[in-house]
Structure 1
Amino acid sequence: MIQKWRSRREGETFRRSVFVKLLLSFMSILIIPVVIGSLLYGRMEQAMIDNAYDSNQALLQQTRVSVDSRMNEVDQLAAQIAFDPTLQLFLYEENNRASINAYTHIQLIKSLKRYRTLSPFVDDYYVYLKPSDRIVTTTVRTDPVTFFRDMNEYSNLSVDEIKSILSHYNLRTYLPSEPIRYDQMQRNMLTSVFSLPMGDSTEVLGSLVVMIDEAQLIGQLRKSNQRNTDFYIIGDDGQVLTTTSASRDAIDGIMPRLGGAKGDFTASFGQREMLVSYTKSNQNNWTYVSVTPKTIVLAKVNETKSLAMVLVLLCMAGGMTVAYYLAYKNHRPIRELIHTILQGKNMSGSHIRNEFAFIKNELLSSIVEEKQMRGMFSRQKPVIKSDFISRLMRGYVDTARLTDTDYAFMDVSLPHPHYGVILMQIDDCRRFVQEDTEREWTLVRFILINLSNELLAGNGYAIELERDRVGILLNVAEPSAEEGNELDRVLKAIRSQMESKFRTSVTVAVSGMKTNVGQIAVAYGEAVTALEYKPLQAGDDIIYYEAVKNIEHHYFYYSLETEAQLMNYAKSGDFINVEKVLNQLFEINFQSRSISPEMAKYLSSELMSTVIKLLNALNMDDETFFGGEKETFKYLARFSTSEEMRDTLKRLYRSICDKVAGERSDHSELLAVKIRSYIERHYASNELSLTSIADHVGLNSSYLSTFYKKQTGHNVTEYITALRMKEAKSLLEGSELTVAQIAQKVGFANDIGLIRVFKKTEGITPGKYREISHKEGLDNEAVL
């Protein structure tokens, strides 16, 4: 219960940190197309509005040109009537009373009627004669009261108001259209007033009134109206002359915004948004205005918007589901990583508030530890390098298995094809040291090593071998190691500087040059052999093996290093290298040196002593190898030739190496059985891992994996999975346990892991497998 609470607590902590960040990241990606769509919709909406503005402006321009043309006809009509001679006679009636009679009145009526054909746009016109206070039309002459009360009655103006307008100066004055009862009908008429005589503002003698039917003025606009657009014509005094709208006062609020020659803008008319376009006429200063409901223009867009909103909501719902799934899926490896870290560092009880901070801290901690290890390694690297070169020279390294990576790891580079060994024996350093302490000897070796590395210039590595001995592994391009060449000059320079600067005498022994790495140990033996000739050299302290190898010897060569090589190779079961050392040993003693028969007996005893020491070290029965011979020292002495002695030794060492290899094979098989047994006992535990198995058998986990694969043909994980799947199938077939319960019993943390592995190995889910197995069981029972 506590564990479940802790897991839930950790899960909540995770979701509050990385999970939430992942979810918000995916959600932000989801919002991007929504924002882009909104911007595109805004652009599309504005494009529709701009298109409506352009359409309205085109219609207004067309209307303005048409109306201006009609108004020009009115102006021409007014000009011709105003200058009519008969009308002029009546305007100056006081001066022409003698000429005015009933006939002249009839002439005036006829003259006015004559102008009716000039403009079909004009509905009617009449003249007000101020001196006689009379109205003259194209059909009658009467007084103003009778005319405006019975013949031409204005709905919004009284007779006195109309007479006042006609009595004052008017230069092309237009009265807003209003209903006028005219010829027993009522129509909306636009009234245009011109003072007479025309152009004289000082003395008004009358007025010409032109009546324009409003239907003629805006009929074309109504025909073109496809979007419920209202049109207004506003006079130069700011009054609405005519409109298609039911209300003239609707545009009062936008009057101040109609200042330019033309324009477009959006305005609110009550609760409705309207698109307003206007243009002005230069002829009469009229302003033509169109007002279109924004909803009409954007009707199709709004339909698309509604559909898009539904789709966006659906996409948002689906996107949030996918975002949650992706966040959970991407967060899962982080949780598993953290749990692995917690388990690996035994921190399972810790509570993590911020996974990234935790991983960062652990990573930094690992980096610090790695740096510390690297620093420790770099400090130990010279020691490791020196030890590797020392073992390489003495033949303790299996050169056949070395790779470039191994050399690089040891910081050793051998680019040239020829190899050799130089031994430097410190003979006398008493003039340099004072107390003969280990510290002073270390300083002498340090000086000799650094001087050698400097003068060799990358053609070799100098290392410590013993208290008074330094070794050099040569790697050169030219296979010459003899007196007078470049190497000889370098070695003489080393001896000379040690003598002159540090007052230390040194003896140098140089091996022959070899052509592969495997012969470095042979070169080391040659250098040791050359160094043994130091007492025989008269003043020459650089000894070349090539110069002394043919000298007659009265003693045999079998150094402690050679003995150690033989024993180490035999202990590892490496007969190939054992054979190489034996061949070299017999070549030096019986071919190069030609030792005496007496020395051969001593050598035989030494070789047999090495075999006995080897058998004792390996806890092997010596009588088994010597054919029951109890006096083992006589085993080799009975052979008369060196070839027989060498062949016998090879047979002995082959038997020992085979025995060692066989025991190793038996041990490997026992180890594989032990590993397999441990897995079979613990496969049902979800804590079973490669690391726990390696800890049990005392091996490194990576070596364990390679070893088990080599021994059995399959890796550890495959074997664990096979055991778990076998047990899972058995439980699915013969029990009523749930998949989750079976998962716990076969070593999985949860049913998800079992389902995934089961489907991968068997091709079907556990539930499907149970269904099939039960069905087959029922079929078998039916057959029985």
Structure 2
Amino acid sequence: MRLSSTLRGSAFITLLLSYLAVFLLPLALGSILYTKTSNIMVENANRANLAMLEQLRQVMDIKLKDVEQISQQIAFNSRLQWLMSNADTAESSDAYKFVEFVSEHMSRYQNASDYIRDYYVYLGANDTVLLPSSKTTADTLFHRLYRPIGSDFNTWRSGLIDHPHYQDYIPVTYETPNSKLDTITFVQTLPLGELSALRGALVFLLDMNKVRSMLTPIEFAYQSSVFILDRENRLLVGNKDDALLWNQHQLASLKSGVPYEYEDQGVDKMLLHTVSERNGWNYVLVMPKDVYLEKVHTLKNWMMTLLLICLAGGGAAIVFWLHRNYTPLRDVVRVLQKEKPGRAALPANEYEFIRETIRMTIHEERELRHILSRQTPVIQASFLSRFVRGHVDVSRMTDESLRFMDIRLISESFAVILIDIADFSGFSNDQSERQWALVRFIISNVGNDLIRERAWGYSVELDQNRVALLINFYKERCAEASLVLDGIADGLMQVIEQRFKTYITIAIGDMHEGMERVGESYFEALSALDYKMYRDHSAIIRYREIAAADRHYYYPIETEMQLINFTKSGDVENVDKLIGNLFHAHFTQRRITPEMGRSLFNNMVSTLWKIINPMDPFYSEVFGEQFEPLKDLSACSTVDEMKVKIREWFLALCHYLNVSRTRNSRQLSERIAQYIEQHYGDEMLSLTIIAEQFELTPQYLSALFKKQMGLNLTDYVTRVRIDEAKKLMKDKKLTFMQIANKVGYASDIGFIRVFKKYEGTTPGKYRESL
């Protein structure tokens, strides 16, 4: 009886614990669910408020980006660069250039952004201010238009140019003729990037009311406060009292996007902020905690009510089921005790240990498979890269190893296609590694889709600008392998060019039998890829088409001597014809290999140097000081570009030799001088016009005239005009504008500037001395 009572007590406790476990399990799950749900709702509230702040930040970043882009367009304007460089030397006659810059360049940005209230360029050399519609002085701007409150004139002006500003945003309140104007003032030092020799500044006045108009709906809808601080924690927009909390609670050290809870005058509040990566501005949202977590509090009340109901109902259910189920169990125990009286205790539960061991084993196996599955793409890519190049010992490849790398091969027939990425600027101007990876990813995916439509295979990324396609043919389609390869290449070219605006060159190797010969197809495609120098950037090159290319070129010494003699004699027609025949014979009638092609080009450059070296005049007179023909040829990507270069060099040398050997060079120079004296009043007269008149190139004409006359042709034209102007100045009735028109200048301003440069004085002072 004592043993039976022990068993009954144990069974009772076990059942009680089981029912309690069953009862407590939903409560525990409910608690967990409540915690998770509460956390999710808090996170949702955080995400919603953060998204609202991020939207505000993105809008502001876009508006500020527009301002910065406009500032760069103005700062890099060539006319502004000239005005800054000549501001300290400009005369009153140059004033129209400032007005012209205002009307043609400054005014075009007036409606570029609704956030820009006004903008101007300040030139420190002459204290000039260029507004979108007028030119004024710094003193007028400060005292009559925009006067910063709390700053005097000198402090304001020195703040613009005494130290450099790079896209600085400063909160400033201006006193205008009608009212006060709150702004965020953008200041950019000119010239852009200069740290010491500061010549001026570009200033934009951003309308603070536009920014406030975005914040007001948010504050009204959520009973909150929103404010913006710059990177130096200066308040740009918002409530000053709330902004003070930023420093009082040392909130600037908080992580962006993480809410912060604090108490303000007995009211619990939540603060959330985000930082702009573009300019370091802080966007801060302050909201009462009750409003911030309103839905969370509602959920908590409901959960507490349900918990009390569950406790009452669950307790009653446990008492009922424990009494009902324990009675039969007690009877069974009594019967078992009578049948097996020697059993003194219940057996230990070894199954629990076994179950736990099995669970841990399954968990460890799952973790191992997960780790291997994450490494499979990397292992696969590494293997395929070596396999395509022929660097894999195929004798050690097994079906199990291929399955491990998730690779399936359907036959022993393989071919390789290489894709060389030439230009994706039409798809994206970003040349970062991330963008290169995106382009390779696109080509690989498109290539995989096209392969699987006709055969089997994989795409492999080889280099930054190169992707390989490994094609494994079905046995029944090996006879039409060429059609399959052409279909894949044509489809890939069409999709990548038309949809993604990317220019590629595709090289196709032949099909080979056996895994050990995959490398042969790869090197065939690699050889075909070299022939892109004969094609445009966008081309499909098949190895079977170029396999029969000649391995030599024809450029005997007789041909070279003909080219030398024709060039030295200035026979332009025969030189052009001979070069054209050489290129036609090697690149049109037949195709030589790229290596032989470059060797032919180098030999022709060597011929050019043989002509140049014994020449008495220096070759720099013909080709310039930086003449490097081999470097220029290596920069050419196609044969046609190389042909144009070589033809230009030889024909330019012919023209120069023709002009140099002309016996009447002196008479020609005198005729040119006479032509200038007869047409100096033509404002279109220039080196190019004179060269066309005498059927010479401008370079040759300039060199010939300077050699014969000892003076640059342009300087000679200017000297003739100035001398004639000095004669006309004796007539006091003629204005400077009339004199300028008579001697070939479109305006008196250009005439005055040139006269002062050559005579050292202005026309007005020169006329007074007559």
Q: TM-score, normalised by structure 2?
A: 0.34
Q: TM-score, normalised by structure 1?
A: 0.34
